[in-house]
Structures are given as C-alpha cells and as structure tokens.
C-alpha cells in the first residue's frame, strides 16, 4: 500500500485514476478546488479530500505531507475555450501551480508523476513523435499555443528538480484521452453527447486531420504503473494508442454506434475561432519507450472504447442533460 495524493482528482482522468489506485490498495487523498464536476461523481464517498487551489502553497502543504509516497499531478486548466480567452489563467495554473507542487513534494520527499500533454510537441510534422523529438510551435501572439508552452515550461521545471535537486519525478504526455465521465467539451465526448440527443456532431475543416484516441482505462493503467516503478524516475513517457484515424472517421463511428442518421455539421476553424487558433494535421505517439521500460501498451481498440463510452452515456441521463462545453 502506498499513500498518494492526486491533484485534480475530481476531474475526468483524476477520477478514474483514484478508483484504480483504491482498487490497488493505495490510500488516496484528492486535492482539488471542490467544484462540482462530472468526474467527481465517480469518486467513492470515503475518499479523503483537501480543498484548495494549486497556486496556494499552504493548501498544498495540507495535502502533501511527509508520509505521502507519490503525488499524481493532474490539476490543470485545459480546453480550447481557455486557451483562446483565458491565456493568463492557463499559464498561471499550469506553470506556477506545478512549481508550487514540486516545491511541496521536495519538502515531503514524495515522488511526482506530472501529467503533461502531447500538445508540447506543437505542430512538428514528423509523426509519430518520440519523447525526445523537437517542439515546433507557432507565434507567441497566437493564444492557441499558451497551453503547449505552459506544459512544456512545467516539464522543464520538473526535469530541473530531477537533475538539480534529486527529486524523483516522471512525466506523462497523454494523447487524446476519452471515455466515461468526460465532460462534453472534447471531440469524442461532445460528439457522443450530441449524437445521443439527436443533434449532428460537428466536424471542423473537413475532418481529415488524423489523431490517435486513447481509452481512459489504458491511460490510467499506464499512469499507475509509472507511479509505482522506480524505472520510470527521471523519464518522460508518451501514453497513447497508436492507431491513426481521421477525426471524420471517429465521428462516423460515434454516429453509427449512437444510431444517428443525420449528416454531420461542417464548420471551419477560421470562421469559428479566427486566426487565434491553429489546428494540427497529425498527432500520433511513438510508445516504444514505455513498452520497453514498463511493458505497457494501449490494448483497447477504438471501436470497442467508443462503444463502451456510448453505452455508459446511455445509462447516465444526467450526463446527457449537461450543456455542451460545460465547465469543469
């Protein structure tokens, strides 16, 4: 049994991770803002909560105490609406919040597993991306890149604590996670949310962009394995499925599984967001490193994962009653 803290533990990934860690026998404390969220509904009532903002050092100190073995740092501000309209908050929470957490973990002697993002690679055209591949981002005048930059700078600081301070830490870069409990503000969740209500999903720019979509159970399994292994210390890992699929194909799968026969709604990103947003044509991981070190690879096929998520949504009408793009 390990004593662990999960920041952002009431969120989508955090909620699933907490349940996984509890099933493993760990003693879990959730640190979050206390706001009601879809992910919070999946947490067992007996989970210990510490309420606070990741930027509040005193609140973090109440959760990250010297008896904590591992801190899973998932708290972040994520979502296109935030990148475009609240860039200062994105940078402040994702960067300064991570600095505060690393300081608290160093004082407590805890290992850190930092949840970063595939966004750090930016628009590097040479896919699939290995962990040490270059970052290629756009202009700093384009708000779209504030999230990528905030996560990349937080990674630099994490590696700095590893190399300069001797902190045990690992970095995870998630690739397009989806599954039950995710708020309807992302491609898969929003498309399922719309399709099951008889509303055509939205496809941007023709839907020819390609991605790999990772079922939440696979991502959580990798996250828990990284936290439990000394082999992962000081390393960054891509965590994602490797099946390349177009966004249009994903939406077609969802419409079929939901029984929707209406055509998709086609929109242009320039019309919707203006020049402050730049989409990526490809985002695919190379996961050979995590497989070689920890023996992990994603095992849930896209169709199976989408089917499980659609079936879950059908059984939870409260989720279907949420508005599109609901805040976390």
Catalytic residues: 147
- Assigned token pair, 275: 């020049």
């Amino acid at each position: 049994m390990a004593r662990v803290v999960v920041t952002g533990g009431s969120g989508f990934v955090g909620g699933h991770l907490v349940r996984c860690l509890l099933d493993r026998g760990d003693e879990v404390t959730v640190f979050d803002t206390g706001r009601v969220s879809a992910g919070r509904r999946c947490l067992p009532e007996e989970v210990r909560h510490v309420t606070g903002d990741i930027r509040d050092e005193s609140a973090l100190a109440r959760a990250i105490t010297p008896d904590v073995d591992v801190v899973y740092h998932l708290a972040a501000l994520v979502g296109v609406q935030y990148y475009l309209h609240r860039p200062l908050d994105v940078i402040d929470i994702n960067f300064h919040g991570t600095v505060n957490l690393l300081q608290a973990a160093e004082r407590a002697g805890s290992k850190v597993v930092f949840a970063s993002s595939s966004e750090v690679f930016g628009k590097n055209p040479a896919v699939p991306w290995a962990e040490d591949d270059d970052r290629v981002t756009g202009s700093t005048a384009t708000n779209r890149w504030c999230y990528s930059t905030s996560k990349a700078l937080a990674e630099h600081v994490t590696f700095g604590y590893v190399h300069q301070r001797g902190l045990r830490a690992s970095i995870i870069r998630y690739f397009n996670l989806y599954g039950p409990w995710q708020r309807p503000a992302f491609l898969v969740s929003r498309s399922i949310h719309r399709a099951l209500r008889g509303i055509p999903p939205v496809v941007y720019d023709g839907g020819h962009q390609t991605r790999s979509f990772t079922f939440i159970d696979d991502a959580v399994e990798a996250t828990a394995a990284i936290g439990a292994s000394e082999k992962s210390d000081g390393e960054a890992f891509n965590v994602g499925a490797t099946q390349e699929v177009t966004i249009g194909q994903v939406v077609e799968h969802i419409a079929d599984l939901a029984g929707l026969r209406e055509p998709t709604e086609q929109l242009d990103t320039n019309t919707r967001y203006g020049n402050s947003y730049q989409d990526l044509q490809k985002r695919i991981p190379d996961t050979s490193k995590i497989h070689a070190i920890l023996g992990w690879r994603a095992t849930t096929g896209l169709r199976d994962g989408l089917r499980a998520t659609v079936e879950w949504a059908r059984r939870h009408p409260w989720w279907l009653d949420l508005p599109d793009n609901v805040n976390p």
